Amino acid sequence: MIDPDFRTLPLRWAADDVQLVSADERDGLADALREELDIGDTVEKISVINNGHRVHFIHDFSDNTTGIVDPERCFVMELSPELVLSPELFISGLTSGAPFDVSRVRSSLRAALPALVELRRAASELAARCAERPLYRLYQDDAIRKREVHESPEPHDYMQFSGRHVQEIKINNLQEVLAYERQLHA
């Protein structure tokens, strides 16, 4: 018996290799998330159009890092194998039409301040894309937050699909990051 929350990924390839990830026609995910995939031997580059905003995710399996590149800043964190399929398995699943679990998973993270001055040389793809942007290390936010049962969760800052679940990322101190950047430019 298949879990009722398990969803499969319908493969819809356009001429320009854009893939639409959809968990359920009713949840609006098809309108909110579109991805372009560039998958190599050890690096997955995923360009996400999330509610009209383009963000790039770089999963580097040789360095065990995930980078988030948006137009103004970059973030780096440890790669989460429970959310990101290896390039080989991801390609295999896509080409065979295998079902993917596209249920949503929320990640609450915090950005370490100040911004990193230099990224290790091993993450060369991310370092090259973030040379002109501030770069912040992300870590798990273990703070306990109370909310009412009927209250809907806070909106995510970033969203992506990398083979296992649709990950919604909330950076809990993003307003602090923006204030830090304003202070630097003042």
Within a 13 Å sphere around the CA of 38, how many CA atoms are in the beta-carbon half?
A: 10
Structure tokens at 80: 């989460």
8 A C-beta contact, residue 34 and residue 49: yes
Whole-structure pTM value:
0.77
Question: For residue 147, how far is the Cα from the chain centroid?
Answer: 24
User: Within a 10 A sphere around the Cβ of 14, how many other Cβ atoms?
Assistant: 10
Report the range of poorest mean pLDDT among 40-44, 104-108, 150-154. Answer: 150-154
Tens digits of per-residue pLDDT, 18-57?
A: 333 344 544 555 556 788 888 888 999 999 987 678 899 9
Report the range of poorest mean pLDDT among 51-60, 90-99, 142-151. Answer: 142-151
8 A C-beta contact, residue 123 and residue 63: yes
- Altogether, the residues listed in the chain come to a count of 186
